[in-house]
Structure 1
C-alpha cells in the first residue's frame, strides 16, 4: 500500500478525528475500511474532499490497470453521515445480492454500490471481501 503522499495520510486521519459524533457507527466503519485498504499490497490510497457534499476514499491500483480505481468509499455529508461503497460491477461478484447496480455511476461505467448506514459487522466483512476481490481483479 502506498498513500499518495504523507499529507494525504494526515488529511485522512484528521478527517476521521474530526468526524462529528453520531450514534450510527459510520465513522468506525470508514476507519476500519481505511485500515483494511492500507494493508492491501499493490494499492495506493487517494482522498478527495468536497466538504458539504462527499469525502471520497479511493483504492487505486499501482499497476497499469484499465481501471483508475477498484473501490470508492464515499462519505455522504448528511446528518448523520453515511457511506456509499462502490465497485466497478465487472470486478466483483455480489453473491448475496446486497448491492445496487448504478448504470454509468462509477466514473462513467456501471457501478455496484452498497449503502452503509450503521455499524453492521456482517456487511463490513462482506465489503472487505469485495474490496480484496476487486483489488485482486485489477492486479491481474
Structure 2
C-alpha cells in the first residue's frame, strides 16, 4: 500500500494520552495483513480522515470497513461497517440508518485505548473481511 498522504498524515499526527493514533495504526496493520485487501485513504482536513478497506472479491460494495479519524480535540476514531456484514453480539456499536454510503451501518466509537473494545472491533473487522471475501 503506497499511500503517501496516509504516511504524511501519520507522521504529522502527535499521539495524545488517549493513544488514538496507536489504535489507528493497530487497526491499519490488522487490515494490511488480510489477504485480498486494498486500503484507500480519503482525507477531508478539518472533518475526517478515512481509511477504507475493500476486498478484491467485492463487486457490489465499495468497502467492507471504514476507520475514520474524527477531527476533534483530541482526535477519536469511528469504525463503521455495513450492518449486514457483521454481528454485534455485545451491542457495543451504534446502529446508524443509512450511515455508510447510504446503507445501514454499525459504528464503534473509540475515544481512548481500551484493550477489550479494540479486540472486539478487530473481531468485527475479521467478520466483515470474511463477508467481503464472498463478494
Q: Could you say whether these structures have the same fold, taking a TM-score greater than 0.5 normalized by the shorter chain as the test?
A: yes
Q: Which runs of 5+ in 2 are unaligned?
A: none
CA distance in 1, matches of 2:64, 2:22: 21
Distance in 2 (alpha carbons) for counterparts of 1:105 and 1:86: 9
Judge conservation of contact 2:66–2:80 (CA < 8 Å) in 1: yes
1:42 is aligned to 2:46: no
State the Cα deviation string for residues 31-75 of structure 1 (Å, max 9, x = none). Answer: 000000100001100000011100000111112432210100000
Q: How does 1:1-140 map to 2 (within 5 A)?
A: 3=1, 6=2, 8=3, 10-140=4-134
Runs of 4+ in 1 over 3 A off after TM superposition: none
SS in 1 for 2:41: strand
TM superposition shift of 1:11: 2.3
Deviation track 1:84-113 (CA, whole Å, cap 9, x = no partner) reads: 000000100101100000000100000000
Q: Distance in 2 between matches of 1:104 and 1:21?
A: 31
Aligned partner of residue 46 in structure 1, secondary structure: strand
Asked if the contact 2:15/2:22 (under 8 Å) is kept, the reply is no
TM-score normalised per structure 2? 0.95
Instruction: Give the whole-Å Cα distance in 1 for the aligned partners of 2:13 and 2:95.
Output: 29
Q: CA RMSD in A?
A: 1.0
The number of residue pairs the alignment matches comes to: 134
**In structure 1, how many angstroms separate the alpha carbons of the residues matched to 2:102 and 2:23?**
27
Distance 2:31 2:121 in 1: 11
